[in-house]
Amino acid sequence: MARAHFSKSFTQQLPIPDDAIEAAIAVMRSGRLHRYNTAPGEDSETMELEREFAVWQGQPYCLAVASGGQAMAIAMRAAGVVPGDLVLTNGFTLAPVPGAIAAVGGKSVLVEITPDLVIDLDDLALKAKTTGARYLLLSHMRGHLCDMDRLMQIAATHNLTIIEDCAHTMGARWNGKLSGSFGLAGCFSTQTYKHMNSGEGGLLTSDNPEFMARATILSGSYMLYPRHGAGPAEDVYTDIRLDTPNCSARMDNLRAAILRPQLRKIEQSIADWNARHDMVADMLSASNRIHLATRPAAEVYVGSSIQFCLPEITQAQALAFVSGLAAVGVEVKWFGASQPVGFTSAHQSWRYVAAQDLPQTDKILSGLFDMRLPLTFTLEDCALLADHILDAVAALPETGEAT
């Protein structure tokens, strides 16, 4: 049957809430945009955001920074990564993750993924043992959590320091525990396409005071570290303040003002994303040609995007599939392309990372498609998107047919 052309933008986010706009206007009227430019006795918007996010995340310390990528790079430096150190990370992630490793001089050791799009824990254990790497930058890519209980057992066995990339899992949980709370640090992004929108921005959380003191100085606090809303006690900084370089990666008060009202609404946003995700997933599951990642009972996810695999698709078919959907207004990304497109890339195009053999990951990515589900889409929109995808899948040749 002929279906309506999908006409909405996949990059259009909800407007910034009115209370956030009012808070931003108040900051602009004050002229005090820099996080440390405060009147006597005044707590800045950035301080308040750090306090509020630390409470929400259930961690004692939070640092607001300029981006999620800076959160990761600062976390690795504060954790002790030095140039030449090996850092394990997912073979399937986005470029800022290996980019952050490269930024601190580390060398990425890529770990295979499973058909459920999470890090392969058997391969992780093997590579931790054989390489001697002592750091894991764990990417919860596209909102999928691995078995975090088993991962932490592997970390303990191999003395791995865990830093979590939670750009896609703000509010996700494993057995009731929030992502970002398992390892030494959790790194979050507030870039436009993430779960809170300040255009660009990042948050770093931890329960380790010495780590957070190093991170705070690295972020560019000068000697103004007492002006942090969720930082360690001043005596923790005694030597750290003199031994740690300033890398100037601060968040400003304008972005913090925009984020605080969004944080108060995030639980409703998560519920709204999951309603959209689950509708599309339920509809796509009707096709026996589509593989969807299994979501374990222990996982509470945030479904701001959806991924699906067509395991037997050829390269020519995948290109035709993407372009055919684009013709009816449906924007899907394919991770099997030979060249990076927009935000989407695979490990072969990260030429700042040593080439590595990942046959299992490559096979999965060759049939992996990804679609954003912004909250500007209604449930009816999501049903139409799923119908278009099902139509496009049904039109693909069966396995063994000529293309």
DSSP 152-180: HHHHHHTTPEEEEE-TT-TT-EETTEETT
Closest by alpha carbon to 50, among 270, 203, 179?
A: 203
The long-range contacts involving 318-323, CB below 8 angstroms and separated by at least 24 positions, are 318/366, 318/367, 318/369, 321/369, 321/392, 321/393, 321/396, 322/369
What count of other Cβ atoms lies within 10 Å of the Cβ of residue 15? 10
Across the chain, mean pLDDT equals: 96
**Overall fold of domain 18-264:** Aspartate Aminotransferase; domain 2 (3.40.640)
* Residue 146 reports pLDDT greater than 50: yes
* Residue 260 reports pLDDT greater than 90: yes
CA distances from 263 to 43, 164, 194, 197, 274 (A): 18, 20, 12, 10, 17
* Residue 310 reports pLDDT greater than 50: yes
pLDDT of amino acid 110: 98
pLDDT of amino acid 2: 81
pLDDT of amino acid 339: 85
Q: Do domains 18-264 and 266-394 have the same CATH topology?
A: no
pLDDT of amino acid 1: 66
Per residue in 331-376, pLDDT (tens digit) is 999 999 888 888 888 999 999 999 999 999 999 999 999 999 999 9
Model's pTM, two decimal places? 0.96
State the amino acid at position 125 in one-letter form.
Answer: A
d(CA 287, CA 381) in angstroms, rounded, equals: 19
* Residue 6 reports pLDDT greater than 70: yes
The tokens of 330 are what? 């449906």
pLDDT of amino acid 345: 86
Max intra-chain CA distance, the chain: 74
* Residue 228 reports pLDDT greater than 70: yes
Residue with tokens 């090996």: 86
pLDDT of amino acid 399: 66
* Residue 398 reports pLDDT greater than 90: no
Architecture of domain 266-394: Alpha-Beta Complex (3.90)
> Where in the chain are the domains?
18-264, 266-394
The tokens of 37 are what? 């430019």
d(CA 126, CA 133) in angstroms, rounded, equals: 11
Do 202 and 68 contact (CB within 8 A), yes or no?
yes
Q: In angstroms, what is the C-alpha Rg of the chain?
A: 22
Confidence tier at 11 by pLDDT (50, 70, 90): very high
Backbone angles phi, psi at 140, to 5 degrees: -80, 65
pLDDT of amino acid 403: 44
Q: What is the mean pLDDT of residues 53-66?
A: 98
pLDDT of amino acid 402: 46
* Residue 219 reports pLDDT greater than 70: yes
